[in-house]
Amino acid sequence: TTPDAVAAPQAAAEHAKDAAATPADAANPAAPAADDARARIETLLGDAAQYEKVFTAFKTAVVGGDRAAVVEEVRFPLNISGGRKITGPGEFQRNYEKIITPAVVKAVSAQDFGTVFVNQQGVMIGDGQVWLTGECLDKACTRTEVKVGTIQ
């Protein structure tokens, strides 16, 4: 499932609270290791390598301004801010600057995969600007496809 416009800000607030409670610095031996994100993904969502592959491809495309490559990593309909949806690649391209805003570019470029926030809804980039979600491809959910499901 994809986070909705209400859940994403709530998760971002949880992330901020968690980050404030447990600073991840090298001087703090209780601080989470970078591999914790991968472990959390494996526990909650499945194949961390699949999430990392999409994260890396999306980050490279966004930072490089490669619109075609950005679209390749998006699942449609795409949830965007204001509870709206983008139905397909053409509509995404026509509204690219409204979707991939400077704030989204900044959040994506600053995010390291090892420090992403993870919950049962997916993987959050920044403070909820982008969500990566998995979708089951069969009834048993033995095969999944990870894509960007929300950009706000």
Q: Which domain holds residue 62?
A: 7-16+34-151
DSSP 32: P
Express each pLDDT in 54-70 by its tens digit.
999 999 999 999 999 99
The pLDDT assigned to 10 comes to: 47
Q: Does the residue 114 lie in any domain?
A: yes
Q: Does the residue 25 lie in any domain?
A: no
Query: How high is the mean pLDDT of the chain?
Result: 84
Q: Is the CA virtual torsion 125, 74, 93, 81 positive or negative?
A: negative
Say how many domains are in the chain: 1
Report the candidate in 53, 61, 42 with the shortest Cα–Cα distance to residue 118.
Answer: 42
Distance in angstroms between the alpha carbons of the first and the last residue of the chain = 17
Express each pLDDT in 29-52 by its tens digit.
444 455 799 999 999 999 999 999
Which residues are paired to 40 by β-bridges? Answer: none
d(CA 74, CA 132): 9
Q: Does the residue 21 lie in any domain?
A: no
